[in-house]
Amino acid sequence: MVTLSQQLQATAAAVQAVRAGRSLTAELARVSPELRPGVQALAFQVMRQWGRAMALRERLASKAPPPAVDALLCTALALGWQGDGAPYPVHTLVNQAVEAARQQKQTQAQSGFINACLRRFLREREALVADTDSDPQARWNHPRWWVARVQDEYPEDWQKLLDMAQQPAPMSLRVDTRLHSVAEYQAQLLDMGLAAKPVGASGLQLERAVPVNQLPGFELGHVSVQDAAAQVAAPLLLQGLKAECAWRILDACAAPGGKTGHLLACYPNAQVLALDVDALRCQRIEDNLQRLGSQAQARAQVRSADAAQPAQWWDGVAFDAILLDAPCTASGIVRRHPDVRWLRRPGDSAQLAQTQAQLLKALWPLLKPGGRLLYCTCSVFRSEGDETVQAFLQRNTDARMLPSPRHLIPGKIPMGLPVEHNALGEHDGFYYALLEKIRD
């Protein structure tokens, strides 16, 4: 039987890895299957409360203890500081955290220290929490630089953005409308006791998340898991043009393949080249295509290559359309990946903006005159959206901006979307700019 102390040990180990710069997703994949569901739930809550936990630990012990000890102590504080919001009674969390410390070599010698800190926390919780309220990192559970940037870039919406980032993301589906209408699939879900509401042009947002193997027809490609904001990309790319034409499309930085599959569904005669620099992530594209069936596989080619180096992979035939989902800080998807805020550093956005500019510069010559390039990032930071695109437009007089939604901000009604996409429900933060190459 899995005990809470075992779960806390594994959660603290994952948290320690994040603090060392490693992805929480990768760390959770290493957790034993019997522990993983519980550890994932705890780790997500810890990451969402990490700012408060660090502030509390600084008041309980001004000098940071060894990393493994600090991770376990802060894990307990993150889970227990809200009282009623704790996943277990706070006294139980404290007892089991101390037990977890005693059970592993890295923390055994410091179990008394952890016990003393947590017992003091129980006695003085109200005063300690009040004392940390003035710290923006504790109040908003994001790094101070992140809070300051969101305040500066979104003076009217910054609090809403930071609050939304603390909420678990909903599970959204994209229905393959060649096989079912949205209403038909919604009815199938309801028959199984799964309530869902329509979002976007072909999406449904579930009232509660479920394992994908419970979704009707998932293994047959009838439906895919995809955020409502991400579902905008494929139809926007060639909006207003004939969908049935034999478009030659490049999906750059394509993994894990959700947008690749959507392109194939939207444009039934298109040929899509899906690129990703990571060979392991390319396998995820292949897996997605296999689930979508032989027709999708026949119309898509997957290659592991650097999109910024066309000389290594391009055959010299220009593309009708390019979808560039560029590498970014992922600041728009922190609800799904709450560790991102703690992995990023203040200079990352500027460095990634340079990468984005390099990709635009490399891929633009591959586009036919009259062709379209859709630039997108899952970021809410301006330097990875409008600033990058406006700089590109200034350098390329053969490019013009077509109507596009630009920044899609969680919790705010999106502007500039096609009518059929207006009701996106709860969605991630995204940026879209649709560019057209001017004919001579």
Q: Return left, alpha or beta for 375; rule: phi > 0 is left, psi -120 to 50 is alpha, else beta.
A: beta
369 and 235 co-located in one domain: yes
293 and 378 co-located in one domain: yes
- Residues written for the chain: 440
195 and 284 co-located in one domain: no
Candidates 84, 85, 88, 92; CA nearest to 118 is 92
101 and 57 co-located in one domain: yes
Candidates 391, 389, 380; CA nearest to 427 is 380
As to burial, measured by CB atoms within 10 angstroms (0-12 exposed, 13-18 middle, 19+ buried), residue 235 is buried
388 and 261 co-located in one domain: yes
Q: Is residue 160 part of a domain?
A: no
110 and 125 co-located in one domain: yes
Please report the pLDDT score of residue 417 as a whole number.
62
Domain of 373: which CATH number?
3.40.50.150
Q: Is residue 156 part of a domain?
A: no
Annotated catalytic, 378? yes
What string of pLDDT tens digits covers the 440 residues of the chain?
Answer: 899 999 999 999 999 999 999 999 999 999 999 999 999 999 999 999 999 999 999 999 989 999 999 999 999 999 999 988 899 999 999 999 999 999 999 999 999 999 999 999 999 999 999 999 999 999 999 999 999 999 999 999 999 999 999 999 999 999 999 999 999 999 999 999 999 999 999 999 999 999 999 999 999 999 999 999 999 999 999 999 999 999 999 999 999 999 999 999 999 999 999 999 999 999 999 999 999 999 999 999 999 999 999 999 999 999 999 999 999 999 999 999 999 999 999 999 999 999 999 999 999 999 999 999 999 999 999 999 999 999 999 999 999 999 888 888 887 666 666 655 557 888 999 999 999 999 87
335 and 403 co-located in one domain: yes
Domain of 213: which CATH number?
3.30.70.1170
d(CA 372, CA 302): 21
Neighbours of 150 (CB within 10 A): 22
d(CA 272, CA 288): 14
Q: Is residue 182 part of a domain?
A: yes
Domain assignment of residue 358, given as a range? 231-437
274 and 378 co-located in one domain: yes
Q: Is residue 154 part of a domain?
A: no
Q: Is residue 250 part of a domain?
A: yes
SS3 406: strand
Neighbours of 91 (CB within 10 A): 12
Q: Is residue 419 part of a domain?
A: yes
Hey, which residues does 322 pair with through a beta bridge? 250, 373
256 and 343 co-located in one domain: yes
Number of domains the chain is built from: 3
d(CA 412, CA 148): 20
d(CA 394, CA 46): 44
431 and 400 co-located in one domain: yes
Q: Is residue 148 part of a domain?
A: no
288 and 328 co-located in one domain: yes
Cα atoms in the 13 Å half-sphere on the side-chain side of 319? 27
Domain of 88: which CATH number?
1.10.940.10
d(CA 403, CA 401): 7
235 and 363 co-located in one domain: yes
Q: ω into residue 211 within 30 of 0, thus cis?
A: no
One of 117, 328, 376, 378 is an active-site residue; which one? 378
- Cβ–Cβ under 8 Å, residues 320 and 248: yes
Q: Is residue 166 part of a domain?
A: no
